[in-house]
A and B are shown apart, each in its own frame.
Chain A
Amino acid sequence: MIEKDITSEKTTHETFTQEEYMVMKRDLLRPIQQIGTWGKVWIAFLVAVCLCGVYAYYIQETKSKYVTVSLRDYTMWGVYISNFVFFVALSLIGVLMSAVLKLTNFQWYRPLSRIAEVIAVAAIMLAGISIVAAMGRPDRLYYLVTHGRIQSPIVWDIIVILTYVATSIVLLFIPMIPSMSTCKNHLTNKPKWQMKMYDILSFGWEGTAEQWKILKKSVKILTVLVIPLGVSIHTVTAWLFATTLRSEWDSTNFGAYFVSGAFLLGVAGMVVAVFVIRKAYKLENYLTEMHFDKLGKALVLMSFIYIYFNINEYLVPAYKMSGLHENHLLNLFIGEEAIFYWSVVLFGMLIPASLPLIPSMRKPLPLTIIAVCVVIAAWFKRYLIVIPGLAHPYLPIQDVPDSWRHYSPSLIEMTIVAATFAAMMLIVTLFAKFFPIISVWEVAEGKLEGKDEIINYK
């Protein structure tokens, strides 16, 4: 029976040029085989920042929050929530870079998909941690399970985050099964537990046609599943704001606006990640200039989509300038937050929409600089969505101390935010230390199917 299956399902997966595959294997397993001094320093630095964050959180929870955190009754959501939104947005990178490109038959996704997915997993986990840091009573977190109320958008968000974490992890590990088998067979000088881990995670993979069939099918199902999930995770996050009656959030546009912003951030984050990984692990043969060229074009497209939704979100209400929106909009356009707001528009939308149109700007270094601007602007964009709105409620703020009107994050808050960033990079770094960050078989398969451009661009 099995014998028959193999002959009828004659696949091409295992018939690539053996020689070439061995080269690829050697290149892509190299980051796991050894770790340099700079790698160790980098990991130590990230661990130190994370520990600072843990200590800051300890201080926040043991001392009075009135002292440690600069949140007050009007701006009761601060950088933790904007950071949460940022990380949720960043986690959409996985959807865009692997699922959308895969289903639309763009072949250049192949070396990128695993990088994107590991960033997605790390980001969504830290989004969860950010929201716990914002809670007044984290000791009652389990009430969400024991007393959860399905009508609340927070409960939807928790459900969709957990689902997305699970799906992303599965989507990360299933395409890794053949790679795990490669690691098991070709890695040397590794501790026993690590080899044992590869053995378990390879699930008895031997690359038979039947196994390939199952793998392909599973990956396909997950790829289709992760798109609506990714869109809904960020839409539900947008609903945390849009389901309130506050004028600055009371927008039917909010879900799409958030999702489009997340795609822009996803592309920019990908550019930065690819640049760093390419340099750090010397993977220039696999993460080529072609990828920067394509990502640069994607950045332009996503910027235009995001600009479109921003026009809907800001300029349409500004045209009407109703009493409800006036306060908030004028504050952003010409008021206290104007410099902030227009810098975000410039660096987060106009620059990524225009500069990468010039071919020389799509080279690795210039594009990465643009992408870094976009990532920073994207973080501040979330800050501008959450905080200035809260400071402009319907009824005027009167008879309160100055610190209640103006929010600026405290040192504790910024340390915790910094630690979430460090933790995200640490997860990606450690992942790359134990698992091949580029999928060997996916790249090989792409090459085999005649998509030479993937590896030998220009």
Chain B
Amino acid sequence: MKSYKYILIICFGFFLNFHLWGQEKEASMTLSFEKADTNYVCKVQVSSENKPVAEIAVKLYVQRLYGLLPIGKEVTTDENGVAIFDFPKNIPLNSEGKLIVLAKVEDDENYGSFETQGETKWGAQPDLLKLAHSERSISASRGQAPIYFIVASIVIIAGIWGTLLYVVLQVFKLKRYKLTSKKI
């Protein structure tokens, strides 16, 4: 059991060495959003030591509550180190009216993984009325019964119970018409 652990540590050491060695060069990205004609584009500039990095695959995502939503397919940078993404106009904006956009390079053999984040206001305002409280309806809560429903119920209940009450009161009136002198 112990020797197994040692082997693991040695392996990990090798891996770490190899990893640092292989990822000599550090690279960074900048995000910019531009309008080209009627379309929106998102430009990702990848550079390393102030030189553009060509031929590197970049992915673009928009942050969502449970994960990152990919925007289009991955794009490889051109000789200027630029990857251009067509940016859709209809992605629903978040609560602040923005979209958090992430550009990622994943496991590149020269530069490893790195990412950058940007913000844009391009997108669609979500239909907030979808979130409105349910209106008065049959399926709504007890406080939200339809007015016609309440009115109809009150009219029917009051009508029937009123009649019933009237009849019972009539019975109590019987005593008033007593004629003690006459027997059946």
Q: Are B170 and A217 in contact (CB under 8 A)?
A: yes
Cβ contacts under 8 Å, A215 to chain B: 174
Interface size on A, residues (CB 8 A): 31
Q: Are A214 and B145 in contact (CB under 8 A)?
A: no
- Chain B interface mostly: helix
- Closest chain A CB from B150 CB (angstroms): 7
Determine if A159 is an interface residue (Cβ-Cβ < 8 Å). yes
Among A80-88, A199-207, A363-371, which stretch is in contact with chain B?
A199-207
Within the complex, which residue of B140, B142, B170, B174 is in contact with A148, where a contact is CB–CB below 8 Å?
B142
Nearest chain-B residue to A159 (Cβ)? B157
Q: Do A218 and B171 form a contact, CB below 8 Å, given A150-B149, A163-B161?
A: yes
Determine if A14 is an interface residue (Cβ-Cβ < 8 Å). yes
Within the complex, which residue of B138, B149, B171 is in contact with A177, where a contact is CB–CB below 8 Å?
B171
- Chain A interface mostly: helix
Q: Are B183 and A214 in contact (CB under 8 A)?
A: no
Chain B 155-172 interface mask (CB, 8 Å, partner A; 1/0): 001001101101110111
Q: Are A151 and B167 in contact (CB under 8 A)?
A: no
Chain A 189-219 interface mask (CB, 8 Å, partner B; 1/0): 0000000000000011111101100110110
Determine if B17 is an interface residue (Cβ-Cβ < 8 Å). no
Nearest chain-B residue to A212 (Cβ)? B177
In the complex the two chains form, what is the Cα distance from A221 to B160 in whole Å?
Answer: 11
Q: Are A208 and B179 in contact (CB under 8 A)?
A: yes
Q: Do A221 and B167 form a contact, CB below 8 Å, given A14-B184, A151-B138, A206-B184?
A: yes
Cβ contacts under 8 Å, B50 to chain A: none
- Closest chain B CB from A292 CB (angstroms): 32
- Closest chain B CB from A280 CB (angstroms): 29
Chain A 45-63 interface mask (CB, 8 Å, partner B; 1/0): 0000000000000000000
In the complex the two chains form, what is the Cα distance from A222 to B171 in whole Å?
Answer: 12
Within the complex, which residue of B140, B167, B177 is in contact with A170, where a contact is CB–CB below 8 Å?
B167
Q: Are A167 and B164 in contact (CB under 8 A)?
A: yes
Nearest chain-A residue to B161 (Cβ)? A163
Within 8 A of B (CB), among A147-171: 147-151, 159, 163, 166-167, 170
Determine if B178 is an interface residue (Cβ-Cβ < 8 Å). yes
Interface size on B, residues (CB 8 A): 31
Q: Are A170 and B178 in contact (CB under 8 A)?
A: no
Nearest chain-B residue to A148 (Cβ)? B142
- Closest chain B CB from A163 CB (angstroms): 6
Determine if A181 is an interface residue (Cβ-Cβ < 8 Å). yes
Cβ contacts under 8 Å, A205 to chain B: 174
Cβ contacts under 8 Å, A211 to chain B: 174, 177-178
Q: Are B163 and A221 in contact (CB under 8 A)?
A: yes
Determine if B90 is an interface residue (Cβ-Cβ < 8 Å). no
In the complex the two chains form, what is the Cα distance from A139 to B45 in whole Å?
Answer: 69
Q: Are A203 and B175 in contact (CB under 8 A)?
A: yes
Determine if B95 is an interface residue (Cβ-Cβ < 8 Å). no
Determine if A229 is an interface residue (Cβ-Cβ < 8 Å). yes
In the complex the two chains form, what is the Cα distance from A166 to B157 in whole Å?
Answer: 13
Determine if B139 is an interface residue (Cβ-Cβ < 8 Å). yes
- Closest chain A CB from B122 CB (angstroms): 43
Q: Do A163 and B160 form a contact, CB below 8 Å, given A148-B142, A151-B149?
A: yes
- Select the residue from A150, A159, A208, A229 with max chain B CB neighbours within 10 A: A150
Chain A contact residues, CB within 8 Å of chain B: 2, 14, 147-151, 159, 163, 166-167, 170, 174, 177, 181, 203-208, 210-211, 214-215, 217-218, 221-222, 225, 229
Chain B contact residues, CB within 8 Å of chain A: 138-142, 145-146, 149-150, 153, 157, 160-161, 163-164, 166-168, 170-175, 177-180, 182-184
